[in-house]
Amino acid sequence: MVESISHAIPKEEFGVYPGYVDPLIPKSKWPTQYWGANYPRLLQIKSKYDPKHVFSNPQSVGSESDKDFHGVINA
């Protein structure tokens, strides 16, 4: 998100485009910015149908639990 916009309207919650990985979004915020209140349910679906993270990117559903920011699986 462009800093000037988010600072001009500080109480507004902005979403982001999920097809674009934005490394400037803090790791603690991107799940809700991309997926909102749907994230917990999406995480359940992801763990059921893609437990090995075949379909992923650095900010996809479930990536924060098993991978570092560069997409490497943490053992």
Q: What is the pLDDT of residue 57?
A: 84
* Residue pointed to by tokens 């209140």: 37
16: tokens are 């982001």
Eight-state DSSP code of residue 74: P
pLDDT one-digit tens code per residue, 6-58: 677 777 666 677 778 888 888 888 888 888 899 999 999 999 999 888 888 88
* Residue pointed to by tokens 């979004």: 25
For the chain, the domains span 3-66
Angle at Cα 25 formed by Cα 23 and Cα 26, nearest 5°? 105
Eight-state DSSP code of residue 73: B
